[in-house]
Amino acid sequence: MAYAQIVGWGMHVPSRVVGNDTFVKMGLDTTHDWIVSRTGIEERRIAGKDEATSDLAVRAARRALNVAGAHASEIDLVIVATCTPDHLMPATASLVQNRIGATHAGAMDLNAACSGFVYALAMGAGQIEASRAKQVLVIGADELSIYLDRRDRSTSVLFGDGAGAVVLRAAPEPGVLYSTMGSDGSGADLLIIPAGGSRIRNNGKSNGRGNGDRYLRMNGPQIFRSATQIMAQAAEKVIANSGLKPDQVDLLIPHQANLRIIESTARRLGIPAQKVFSNVGQYGNTSAASIPIALCEAIGTGRVKRGHNVVLTSFGAGLSWAALTLRWGVNVDAHVAPWTPIRQSVETQVAAMRSALRRQGRRVGATISERLHRDDS
């Protein structure tokens, strides 16, 4: 059988850095020390007004393709894990697929909130293991900052924006060892953006409601208790089913929601702090982007080596959770060929031209059809 191995990785975060003192200056009843003591977060990145989720995803995807030495046209499937799509439809993945020139790829979005990337990684690996795909581009990207009530200190200080991506490729040796996914919909109201769908329409203004329903709402204490238990349980399951013991885990990368949750998860698993990666202090909770961003930074700082056993575990709205074990199978110090960025730049320009020509062709075709129909009448 084929195995799925990560061969490329990339991340992108907005340039705007927002420190904790910004919230104090805005008049929020908080302090830098309070935020750090409760969450471990010191700053986060916030997207600009003209930066959509797809913009972040495209930049991360291009970097992952560069590292993999892959042409976008070789990708069979693009999966974007996000709960903040550019539009309700079409899928953000379709926008990404078009912009990077993945002309032979299917494209779909996956919404499992903060668990989304691990869900998407498991699904992409499944396509490769079933021999339905040879290369899959998996992206986690979110901009939850646009759904935050800046007057609510329980949520506004927690979230940031960003994107991370990996390229999965068929390989003869195991890469993704085991994965698990789960959900408990009875807790769906604990972390929710009520408006924008078919239940509460018109951005929360229908049925006499105020537009406060467009903001993210969270029951912090209950989410904290659930996350610390379930992330550890999910990680235990994938470690055991991969034939490993906790002391054989070289690196644990949990969802970056809160430093106390990360530390509690590691303690429950019996994994020492030096084998746990965290960057929540620099980026906050970037939802589906948090694990791929952390993975990229772990690789960049030498924390991931060929042959390492890496565990990813996540928890999010839904309530959803997912965990996955990886046996890292590629060298991480390989240099990108100097011509790769040039080739990718050309591919990007060709993709943009192709897209523009197709749109123009549809407009011309529609005009001709309309005139023929009018002449026939």
- Per residue in 313-323, pLDDT tens? 999 999 999 99
32 among known catalytic residues: no
Q: What is the C-alpha separation between 139 and 80, in angstroms, rounded? A: 5
Instruction: Identify which of 26-35, 205-214, 368-377 has the greatest average pLDDT.
Output: 26-35
Instruction: Please state which of the ranges 236-245, 284-293, 342-351 shows the lowest mean pLDDT.
Output: 342-351
Residue 310 exposed, middle or buried by CB count within 10 Å (0-12, 13-18, 19+): buried
Going from N- to C-terminal start, the domains of the chain cover: 3-181+221-327, 338-377
Check pLDDT > 50 for residue 206.
no
The answer to whether the pTM exceeds 0.95 is no
Return the CATH number of 3-181+221-327, one of 3.40.47.10, 3.30.70.20, 2.60.40.10, 3.20.20.70.
3.40.47.10
Under a CB-based contact definition with an 8 Å cutoff, are residues 86 and 92 in contact? Answer: yes
Among candidate residues 111, 285, 296, 309, the one labeled active-site is 285
Q: What is the mean pLDDT of residues 213-226?
A: 94
Angle of the 290-300 helix axis to the 116-129 helix axis, nearest 10: 80
- Provide the pLDDT for residue 185: 96
Positive or negative: CA dihedral 114, 166, 102, 342:
positive
Write out the two tokens for 31: 């302090």
Q: What is the C-alpha separation between 348 and 290, in angstroms, rounded? A: 26
Instruction: Please state which of the ranges 175-189, 206-220, 240-254 shows the lowest mean pLDDT.
Output: 206-220
296 among known catalytic residues: no
Among candidate residues 20, 66, 114, 296, the one labeled active-site is 114
- Provide the pLDDT for residue 135: 98
Instruction: Tell me what percent of the residues of the chain surpass a pLDDT of 90.
Output: 82
Among candidate residues 83, 98, 111, 255, the one labeled active-site is 255
331 among known catalytic residues: no
Q: What is the C-alpha separation between 264 and 359, in angstroms, rounded? A: 52
